[in-house]
A and B are shown apart, each in its own frame.
Chain A
């Protein structure tokens, strides 16, 4: 077995005449935090959606943990170990924090054709759910209804829900978007703890976060990977500076 948990080759997504993902190849090693950066419209979220199966791909292969999962439907990909946080908060808004995480644990505890026993009192579900909350420092908010959480807390819960599915790999789509400075500093610390145990593919606009967290970075422009390398290599890459970083600083 290779050291890659995810190996994407020649991935394609077409929207009419537009190539949103253009012959893209990218790999993520086990335990690595691999960041994907690029200007708006570069196809970062499209890539995440293709990897989670939310949208179908028009070509290429997606090898995850040695299996070609390109034709797996979205729910099945969760069961091979891919978990995701959404760019726009996507939670069960009228459920409590704990119930959100319980549902994620439940979906990985066999089928749910159980019609009688109360699920939210089930210790087999509560324990792993609390553990997922603990990892994000949210266990003291467990009984709060999601719609009453702050934006930053909702972003953290996004990741807790993903963790509760016990994944091998996390796909994080701009987890820090709209977060306060303190909240994102906390999240960076948490992600540092998580990486190594988990492989992480991170999309983020916050360059300080990206450069302090990433083991490797891939730069995406118009659906194409123009460079992949360590943060230092990316920082000194002329093409990247021109296409992207140059405008920023």
Chain B
């Protein structure tokens, strides 16, 4: 991936722009946008991890929000016990982070081990069913607020290394995490492992006939993607000071898929563009001041967003990616 292509330049400009966000919003005296863009970047991290499965691996997992939820609840539960029961170590950010990564990895391992024995629509349904099981589990646990969710009174304590309660530090933690994950995915896709994942999407029959049993590679990809989504959850809980079962609802998983479709599947930067477009459209469309027959149009923003999505799927098969110069090396 050379940076000196028109496409590389646009990608770099986007990243440079994102790097400057806190300074710009500071100059504008409005920190709202730092929070908004933080949210976009966290979602893009989750969407990039899901793109490893959908775009590169052809595994349409419809339950990816579950891992975000697992990661987020690790922060929420830790803060809860530190606050209620005075268990201080549970506020330790590194313990919470480890819990978020391990928890989401283990859950992804279990869900993946079962789901990856199926293909196509069955795979979609079974991953969605598992994520709904987690959703209803969270709804059922009264201790942690059931469906009201859990407010986080104290963000992860990173022992002085990063001040999570400072919006700017948190933003840069998110931004550099995104850069790191983008680079990791770039390496991964070109590696031996990435070859197997992309090859299996392209032609599983041929893969088997040249001597590869794809299952364990796909399961590994599933766990990698789940773990990164868990990390996104860890960040999200800190940003929102709040976790709730809603984060795991299947419609949240659907949002991540929409971001990938919007941005362009099987392309490294696609989910980032998709997440930016998705959240921006949500913001803009839902604040349309127009009123028709006593109904505020903004409240029904999805009525406008839906047809837009249909048009994109029909006429720009690769989403925003189709409008960028140069040809992305498709998976």
Contact = CB atoms under 8 A, between A and B. Distances in A.
Given A106-B192, A112-B192, A119-B190, A78 B203 contact: no
A116 interface: yes
A117 B208 contact: no
A73 B156 CA distance: 49
Contact of B213 (A75, A90, A118): A75
B209 A84 contact: yes
Contacts of A116: 187-188, 191
Contact of B193 (A74, A95, A107, A112): A112
B98 interface: no
B196 interface: yes
A92 B202 CA distance: 5
B209 A74 contact: yes
Nearest to B186: A118
B211 A114 contact: no
A120 interface: yes
Contact of B210 (A104, A113, A119): A104
A94 B331 contact: yes
B203 A117 contact: no
* Range class of the A interface residue count: 35 or more
B211 A75 contact: yes
Given A52-B209, A73-B213, A119-B191, A94 B196 contact: no
Contacts of B11: none
Grouping DSSP codes into helix (H, G, I), strand (E, B) and loop, the A interface class, with mixed when no group exceeds half, is: loop
B19 interface: no
Interface in B183-203: 187-188, 190-196, 198-199, 202-203
A127 to B, nearest CB: 16
Contacts of B220: 113
Contacts of A122: 192
B195 to A, nearest CB: 5
Interface string A98-139: 010011101110001111111110100000000000000000
A165 interface: yes
A78 B211 contact: yes
A103 B199 contact: yes
A68 interface: no
B329 to A, nearest CB: 9
B212 interface: yes
A43 B203 CA distance: 24
Contacts of B331: 94
Nearest to B205: A90
A120 B190 contact: yes
A93 to B, nearest CB: 6
Contacts of A112: 192-193, 195-196, 212, 217
**B191, B194, B211 pick with most chain A CB within 10 angstroms:** B211
A75 B191 contact: no
29 contacts: A54-B205, A73-B213, A75-B208, A75-B213, A78-B209, A83-B209, A84-B209, A86-B209, A90-B203, A91-B203, A92-B202, A93-B202, A94-B330, A102-B195, A103-B195, A103-B210, A107-B211, A108-B210, A112-B196, A112-B217, A113-B192, A114-B191, A115-B187, A115-B194, A116-B191, A117-B191, A119-B192, A120-B190, A161-B206
- List 4 tightest A-B contacts by C-beta distance, closest first: A78-B211, A114-B192, A112-B192, A92-B202
Given A54-B209, A113-B193, A118-B187, 17 more contacts: A52-B209, A73-B213, A76-B211, A86-B205, A90-B203, A90-B206, A90-B209, A92-B199, A103-B207, A104-B210, A108-B211, A112-B193, A112-B195, A113-B220, A114-B193, A115-B192, A116-B191
